[in-house]
Amino acid sequence: MNFIETFKTSFIALNSNKVRSALTMLGVIIGVSSVILLISAGKGLENYIEDQFEALGSNLLFVMPGKLKIGSGRDPSDAFSRNKLEVKHVKLIERDMKDEYQYITPFIQVGGTVTYKTRSFFASVTGTNEDFSKIFNFEIDQGRFFTKAEVKNKKKVAVLGKEVYKNLFNNQNPIGKKVKIGSDRYEVVGVYKEKGKNYDEQVIIPYTAALDTYGLDKLSSIVIKVSDEGEIKKDSRLIKHALLKDLKEDDFSVMSQQDILSSIQSILKMLTLVLGAIAAISLLVGGIGIMNIMLVSVTERTREIGLRKAVGATPNDIASQFLIESLMLSITGGVVGIILGWVASLLGRQFIRTEVPLWAILIAFSFSALVGIVFGTYPAIKASKKDPIEALRYE
């Protein structure tokens, strides 16, 4: 029996039990679509973070507390628990870098509830100086940003992100109104334009006021916008040289946006692979389902097997038919799963920039085919070994 005849026979056998064949494929469909969707979501998250960094420009340097070495396996919280960054270190950098930077700011970030009358919103409260909007490319939508004098005098003034503004003021004019941050009341002087969910849920206040309100004496980080992005490495060395006058090498880290982005992307890639591997477990379950149904099919078709052997079918012909049936179930399920995963990825683009890499499709398809071969082999061998005389007597 040639391949085309075997294929036709296999198709007819599966088509005669449409519902059972569809239910058998369901495990493979769910497994493949889950793998595609999770990899797509992970890739979308990578793209989202990359877009956020690109929106800030590529000429920023961050001084972080502790030694944060990419891939070191150290707990980042350990660095913050030994934080030694203070306002005086900003002065050291300013003095040593001179004309090498455009703007520099102390940076304090805490989570806190912001309240206006009966409304409240849990926001990211950011303490910084008057250059914040220039460093991070923020644009004011209403009012103004706070001034150098207000920073120096520890004025309790605040600039709201769009989400904070909408939740607290319901699109009414907030300028001049007072909101409660921590135990203090701050006057709203401005609202900045939409920039993305993470940024829009911020409240920006002078770092001097933040230190006072929250009783802090350490900075979360120091952010520097350098004059020439082509001199990032040189500027990093200047910053290190300045800080080593008062700190030890293990007390701080100087990181560029690319360093931080690479670190985050490496974590996300690993997470995406782990999630994809977990989703692939459902493919194994689908494969077990295929093997179970094929074994049932072998039992049901014992007389058919005996009759075909009696008219000249070889054990290889019988084995080939059952193996092809198993492959047809798994490959068809794989193709349907890929299509469903791709469609779900397209729907996800309404929220983040998802994409389905070609390698994910190839891996998912190959794995579904492998499932068909692995879990179809045993039933095929069992069918091929049936004795034709015993099979014809089977009731």
Residue 121 DSSP SS3: strand
Same domain, 334 and 381: yes
Domain shared by 25 and 128, yes or no: no
Which residue shows structure tokens 């998802």? 354
Domain limit, last residue, from 246, 275, 309: 246
pLDDT of res. 86: 92
3-state secondary structure (DSSP) of residue 21: helix
181 and 207 inside one domain: yes
Residues 27, 283: contact at Cβ < 8 Å? yes
pLDDT at residue number 221: 92
pLDDT at residue number 349: 82
In this structure, are 283 and 383 located in the same domain? yes
Are residues 183 and 141 both part of a single domain?
yes
pLDDT of residue 155: 96
Asked if the structure places residue 80 within a domain, the reply is no
Contact by Cβ (8 Å): 107, 80: no
Confidence class for position 391, pLDDT limits 50, 70, 90: low
Q: Please indicate whether residue 286 or residue 213 has the higher confidence score (pLDDT).
A: 213
pTM for this one?
0.63
Final residue of a structural domain among 246, 277, 301 = 246
Q: Tell me whether residue 57 is in a domain.
A: no
Residues 202 and 333 in one domain: no
For residue range 20-55, what is the model confidence (pLDDT) as tens digits? 888 888 888 888 888 888 888 888 887 777 776 666
Report which of residues 16 and 143 the model is more confident about. Answer: 143
> Do residues 37 and 339 lie in contact, with contact meaning Cβ atoms separated by under 8 Å?
no
Q: What are phi and psi of 266, to 5 degrees?
A: -65, -40
Per-residue HEC secondary structure of 78-104 comes to HHHHCCCCCHHHHHHHHHHHHHHEEEE
Q: In this predicted structure, what is the pLDDT of residue 388?
A: 64
What local confidence, expressed as pLDDT, does residue 283 receive?
74
Q: Does residue 107 share a domain with residue 45?
A: no
- What is the rounded average pLDDT for all residues in the chain? 83
176 band by pLDDT with thresholds 50, 70 and 90: very high
Residue 104 banded pLDDT, cuts 50, 70, 90: very high
User: H or E element: which one contains 186?
Assistant: strand 184-192
Same domain, 226 and 287: no
pLDDT at 74: 45
| Among 82-96, 153-167, 229-243, the least confident range | 229-243
Q: Phi/psi of residue 198, each to 5°?
A: -60, -40
Domain limits at 213?
85-246
313-346 pLDDT per residue, tens:
777 877 888 888 888 888 888 899 999 989 988 8
Do 119 and 90 share a structural domain? yes
Q: Is the pLDDT of residue 157 over 70?
A: yes
Give pLDDT, residue 351: 78
In a domain, 60, yes or no: no
Residue 74 falls within a domain, yes or no? Answer: no
Is the same domain home to 384 and 296? yes
As to burial, measured by CB atoms within 10 angstroms (0-12 exposed, 13-18 middle, 19+ buried), residue 159 is buried
Q: pLDDT of 6-15, one tens digit each? A: 677 777 777 7
Alpha helix (H) residue ranges in the chain: 3-15, 18-56, 76-81, 87-97, 132-135, 148-152, 162-169, 197-200, 207-214, 232-243, 257-300, 302-310, 315-348, 358-384, 388-393
pLDDT tens-digit series, residues 346-355: 888 887 788 8
Indicate whether 61 belongs to any domain. Answer: no
The answer to whether residues 127 and 215 belong to one domain is yes
pLDDT confidence bin for 76, thresholds 50/70/90:
very low
Same domain, yes or no: 105 and 213: yes
pLDDT value of position 147: 95
Residue 144: both structure tokens together: 């103004």
pLDDT-derived band at 177 (thresholds 50, 70, 90) equals: very high
Report the pLDDT averaged over residues 86-110.
89
Residue 341 lies in a domain: yes
Tell me 247's DSSP state: S
pLDDT of residue 57: 59
pLDDT for 113 beyond 60 = yes
Long-range contact set of residues 140-145: C-beta below 8 Å, sequence gap at least 24: 140/190, 140/191, 140/192, 140/193, 141/190, 141/191, 141/192, 141/193, 142/173, 142/174, 142/175, 142/190, 142/191, 143/174, 143/175, 143/188, 143/189, 143/190, 143/191, 144/189, 144/190, 145/189, 145/190, 145/204
Q: Is residue 106 part of a domain?
A: yes
Q: Is residue 139 part of a domain?
A: yes
Closest listed residue to residue 229, CA positions, set 52, 53, 49: 53
**The domain boundary residue, chosen from 211, 246, 281:** 246
Domain count of the fold of the chain: 2
Give phi and psi for 251, each to the nearest 5: -85, -10
